[in-house]
Amino acid sequence: MGGPLAEPTGTAGFAARIAAELAESVRGIDPAQAESFAEALDRAANVFTAGAGRSGLMGKALAMRLVHAGSQAHVVGETTTPGIGPGDLLVMCSGSGETRTLVPMAEKARELGADVAVLTLKPDSTLAKLATMVVRLPGASKSRENDDYATIQPMGSLFEQTLLLFCDASVLRLMQRRGLDTDRMYGKHANLE
């Protein structure tokens, strides 16, 4: 879907088109996979997130909200991140499921007895095969090969946005399971800003 964009026009028009694409994308999320992921977040002793590029940023956003919800959450690669082990969950965010830097992390986490959840476009990918849980998120890949969703957006934007919405929805489900509301979560918000 390369080439110049004929429609829509203007920033507001593009925003409306992106919102429509996202509405279509989130309808394709499997409810059973989504509920299993929320349950895994709830029972994990520690949740670790990992991803590269923009997908990694969405993983960091998930870790932040999990901390607000009372979870022990960490971002792989940060200086304060502890070791992973049994009872822990590694959440890997990768559209392709083939990100070379993530594969050894998944292997190591499994070797150390942790569960691995992979949020991906490709449920038959290398990362998905290493996972204890896979959530297939609809979207479009960077290469546009074998995609189910058309998008006007560049590269993996639709997947990354779907990933962020899915993670935020998972935190809402976790809040519901734990009887939390925004006021109680705000008490865990950073206050040295």
Tens digits of residue pLDDT in 63-106: 999 999 999 999 999 999 999 999 999 999 999 999 999 999 99
Q: Choose, from 7, 24, 160, 193, the residue flagged as catalytic.
A: 160
Active site residue 160: yes
Residue 41 lies in a domain: yes
Mean pLDDT, the chain, rounded, equals 88
Q: What pLDDT, on a 0 to 100 scale, did the predictor assign at position 193?
A: 64
Give the torsion sign (CA, 120, 33, 104, 65): positive
Counted domains in the chain:
1
Helix (H, G, I), strand (E, B) or coil at 170: helix
Q: Which domain holds residue 79?
A: 10-178
Q: pTM for the whole thing? A: 0.88
Residue 187 lies in a domain: no
Task: Give 173 or 190, the one with higher predicted confidence.
Answer: 173
Residue 131 lies in a domain: yes
pLDDT digits (tens, 9 = 90+) for 154-175: 677 889 999 999 999 999 999 9
CATH number for the domain spanning 78: value is: 3.40.50.10490
> Which residues, including other chains, have CB under 8 Å from residue 76's CB and lie 6 or more apart?
48, 49, 50, 90, 105
Task: Give 1 or 152, the one with higher predicted confidence.
Answer: 152
Q: Provide the terminal-to-terminal Cα distance of the chain, rounded to the nearest Å.
A: 42
